[in-house]
């Protein structure tokens, strides 16, 4: 008899997990309150970051922390009134970002990143989404020689340990590759391995269509109605109650709420982010995904226009939008590239789900049979969706995961 499975959350992680379960003979229903890919997966930099072996750490230098405290930067912003409720998460995040601990976390995290391109390639080809993909890497720009030299030294270490490939770009190389770019940049790194996505929402939608072609279903439903039922699980949907032997919670920043209802307490934080699309002035062209590293924003030439993305905003999940970072970033970006009018009616905002040790939560729920977790991917949700989906589906169906996922176990938090 075919076993049923529910996947709660239709972002890139949930859709990828649903695909891999359906491929392995489960009858899968994907459930969300919105159509797939319309929350956090909608608004990201559109990068499959094979180079991203080291998760984003919390600053350690006192001088830099003091500059962040002024709350006037592009790469980070905080809501003062919500800091007391976030201090426990931030303290653990800071502690884990110590150089020694961060190095250990990077080695544990790297296997996910190292398989990100191959696992996306599988689903991209299966979903016939090749037209949405570019395979020419991305560029990290530096305004000072000191920052450039430090980044190049780190890139050399990553190349040696993790096989990450890169090129060092001189100012003349930047000018040749981006003739419409201005600004006195000291140099850049071009990461060779990453792929970029011309429309992240369209990619998730393509994966959803492939999932349905395998026999899977998508229905809308309320995660709050999930509960144990007999030897499995039951949830209310717009098509009525649904029962399944296995349920995966892949709800991104809402996973903490859903798991709390079931008696778990994961120390998840939220990093919110914003984006806006722009036209280019005249016949100007942006050729590459580019991060202005010392200012903390990214420009990406996507199908809808040039997407500008911001850094992290530390606020509660349901706080009103405060897109001050976007306004700051736009002002700086206009000094290096001829951005035209805004193309979106208002800034988009999403929330990244983050664990204090910077690694996702992937594995079996400690206190329930048939309950599985896949969340907490922080800045790398798009990158890690397919590889997460594969390893979790292997675990659920009794296979040995193709990489060791012990480091991502829910048990590490004793929730």
Q: What is the mean pLDDT of residues 86-97?
A: 93
Alpha carbon distance 48, 261 (integer Å): 33
Q: Where are the domains of the chain?
A: 1-57+97-130+195-268+355-415
Q: Is the pLDDT of residue 415 over 70?
A: no
Evaluate if residue 115 carries a pLDDT over 70.
yes
Counting residues of the chain whose pLDDT is more than 90, the rounded percentage is: 90
Q: For residue 228, what pLDDT band results from cuts at 50, 70 and 90?
A: very high
pLDDT digits (tens, 9 = 90+) for 285-332: 999 999 999 999 999 999 999 999 999 999 999 999 999 999 999 999
pLDDT tens column, 384-402: 999 999 999 999 999 999 9
Q: How many CB atoms lie within 10 A of CB 293?
A: 21
Q: Which helix (H) or strand (E) holds 21?
A: helix 12-23
DSSP codes joined into one string, 287-345? -S-EEETTTTEEEEEETTEEEEE--EEE--TTSPP-THHHHHHHHHHTTTS-EEEE-SS
The CA–CA distances, whole Å, from 81 to 90, 319, 413 equal 15, 11, 27
Tell me, rounded to whole angstroms, the distance of Cα 246 from its chain centroid: 25
Indicate if the alpha-carbon torsion angle 389, 392, 396, 398 is positive or negative.
Answer: positive
pLDDT at residue 41 in the model: 86
pLDDT digit string (tens) for 229-262? Answer: 988 999 999 999 999 999 999 999 999 999 999 9
Whole-model pTM: value is: 0.96
CATH fold for the domain made of 1-57+97-130+195-268+355-415: FAD/NAD(P)-binding domain (3.50.50)
């Amino acid at each position: 008899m075919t076993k049923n499975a529910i996947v709660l959350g239709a972002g890139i992680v949930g859709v990828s997990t649903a695909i891999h379960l359906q491929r392995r003979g489960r009858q899968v229903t994907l459930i969300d309150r919105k159509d797939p890919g319309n929350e956090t997966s909608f608004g990201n930099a559109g990068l499959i970051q094979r180079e991203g072996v080291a998760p984003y750490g919390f600053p350690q230098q006192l001088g830099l922390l003091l500059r962040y405290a002024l709350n006037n930067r592009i790469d980070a912003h905080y809501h003062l009134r919500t800091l007391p409720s976030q201090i426990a998460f931030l303290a653990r995040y800071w502690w884990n970002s110590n150089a020694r601990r961060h190095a250990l976390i990077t080695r544990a995290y790297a296997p996910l990143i190292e398989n990100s391109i191959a696992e996306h390639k599988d689903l991209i080809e299966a979903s016939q989404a090749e037209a949405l993909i570019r395979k020419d890497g991305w560029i990290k720009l530096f305004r000072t020689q000191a920052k450039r030299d430090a980044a190049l030294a780190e890139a050399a270490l990553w190349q040696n340990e993790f096989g990450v490939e890169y090129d060092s770009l001189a100012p003349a190389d930047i000018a040749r590759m981006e003739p419409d770019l201005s600004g006195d940049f000291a140099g850049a790194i071009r990461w060779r391995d990453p792929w970029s996505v011309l429309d992240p929402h369209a990619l998730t939608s393509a994966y959803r269509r492939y999932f349905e072609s395998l026999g899977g279903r998508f229905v809308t439903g309320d995660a709050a109605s999930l509960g144990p039922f007999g030897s499995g699980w039951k949830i209310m949907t717009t098509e009525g109650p649904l029962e399944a032997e296995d349920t995966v919670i892949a709800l991104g920043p809402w996973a903490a709420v859903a798991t709390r209802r079931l008696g778990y307490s994961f120390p998840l934080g939220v990093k919110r982010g914003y984006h806006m699309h722009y036209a280019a002035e005249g016949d100007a062209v942006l050729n590459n995904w580019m991060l202005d590293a010392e200012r903390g924003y990214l420009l990406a030439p996507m199908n809808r226009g040039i997407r500008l993305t911001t850094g992290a905003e530390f606020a509660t999940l349901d706080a009103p939008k405060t897109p001050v970072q976007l306004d700051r970033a736009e002002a700086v970006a206009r000094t290096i590239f001829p951005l035209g009018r805004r193309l979106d009616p208002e800034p988009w905002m999403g929330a990244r789900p983050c664990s204090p040790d910077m690694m996702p939560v992937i594995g079996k729920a400690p206190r329930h049979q048939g309950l599985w977790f896949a969340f907490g991917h922080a800045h790398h949700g798009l990158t890690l969706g397919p590889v997460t989906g594969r390893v979790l589906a292997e675990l659920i169906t009794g296979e040995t995961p193709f990489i060791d996922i012990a480091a991502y176990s829910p048990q590490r938090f004793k929730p």
